[in-house]
Structure 1
């Protein structure tokens, strides 16, 4: 069995390769002028993301052995993961004070799955098992929430006239927004679907490889990876559906000045 240390030894060579890869990503983003809709370049964001990842993973590597010793510390760490995910997703979707609504789709997708796993005994209340499983699910919900929220609000802004036309025909504001935003928001499911469809043929995801490196049999690794992929599809489907509903009801929007009604919420 190939040891993890043989696959990726933690030495100076690995550090140099990581630095070069990060520099390549930053350079390409800068030369290609990759930017978001507000012309904010991604080169700086990539550099900061890489550095933050290094610092955060180093900190987690130190803390993980500490928090798994007691249930209160474990729950606190899980809440921290959730809070960071909500803040990240919310601020990716909007700059105003409705960002905290991102907590709803993430919780709605992740919490039932985690509770079911604990009640059935498939995952014990131990940090070494609960933290990675919950982290994977929160990460999937975060991605789906961001993609669905951004796509839905972008579509409503671009096709605002169609929303107004639908309301003129008698549609309620929520129903009019749903008709316009639903196809765009639903595209947030595509990354998860494609990953599940191509698993084993195009990619060998992290859970599968990690199990193998940990000494598990290929069969057990495959079962665990199948669970992760199916659970992620469930989590992401719920997250997308909830985000779409929040956008349609005007609770999650990009208005600079928040309307106190559910009606005026799709413009910037």
Structure 2
């Protein structure tokens, strides 16, 4: 076992349980209304990672299985963003910004030869990019929909001035929705100074050099910026066009 590997034991389980209790307590004290969500999210993470840990070896033996798993990632990401942004019925078009953000960026990385064309390399980078695009889509989409609802008077004023519906909607929702890129921008700006993200540490634990670790992390961060920027731009366009909206309470 590597020196940096975590030992799975009863102590590990106890630490996880304690951290969940701390998170729930903080949410309750702060009246954040997410205490139950912390518990359910943690429980789902345990179950899902347990299943993935058992299946991942089999998945990585075949390109077809790897491709199928990537499709599953996109579907789950779209379902998650759809619930965050809208009703499921009206929100499923968010699959477009997630796929359009993650898949072309991943294809560029693979086609350039920067990353080896192997299942064990492609699957993790696909997961990172899809996860980033999902988060950016959820944040920008929800913010855009809320802005159009809360500032509907400004939208109507823009229409009265002669703006087309799409342009009027973009005037209202684009500035605040762009803030969905703030987490990715902050992480990129402070990498190495505030955090040593997973890709960097993973390469080091895998026996790579510090230079290889830094190059890998840089590639991941810049790729995430590209994927998330595409996802945010498309999400705002979908909201402005009325393709994604929230017409019923949620």
Is the TM value for this pair above 0.5? yes
How do residues 1-268 of structure 1 correspond to structure 2 at under 5 angstroms?
A: 3-5=3-5, 8-34=6-32, 41-256=33-248
- Aligned in 2, Cα 1:96/1:217: closer, same or farther, shift over 3 Å? closer
Cα distance in 2 between the residues matched to 1:199 and 1:86 = 28
Q: Which has the higher contact order (CA 8 A, sep 6+)?
A: 2
Cα distance in 1 between the residues matched to 2:74 and 2:116 = 19
Cα deviation, residue 96, structure 1: 4.6
Size of the aligned set, in residue pairs, is: 249
TM-score of the aligned structures, taking structure 1 as reference length: 0.90
In terms of mean alpha carbon deviation, does 172-181 or 117-126 score higher? 117-126
Cα deviation, residue 247, structure 1: 0.6
Query: Does the Cα contact within 8 Å between 1:71 and 1:125 map onto a contact in 2?
Result: no
Cα distance in 2 between the residues matched to 1:69 and 1:87 = 27
Cα distance in 2 between the residues matched to 1:111 and 1:136 = 11
1:233-262 CA distances to partner (integer Å, 9 max, x unpaired)? 000100000001001100000013xxxxxx
Unaligned regions of 5+ residues in structure 2, if any?
Answer: none
Cα deviation, residue 169, structure 1: 0.7
TM-score of the aligned structures, taking structure 2 as reference length: 0.96
Cα deviation, residue 121, structure 1: 2.7
- Aligned in 2, Cα 1:96/1:216: closer, same or farther, shift over 3 Å? closer
1:22-75 CA distances to partner (integer Å, 9 max, x unpaired)? 0111122123221xxxxxx31111100001001111111111100111111111
Unaligned regions of 5+ residues in structure 1, if any?
Answer: 35-40, 257-266
In terms of fraction of residues, the more helix-rich structure is: 2
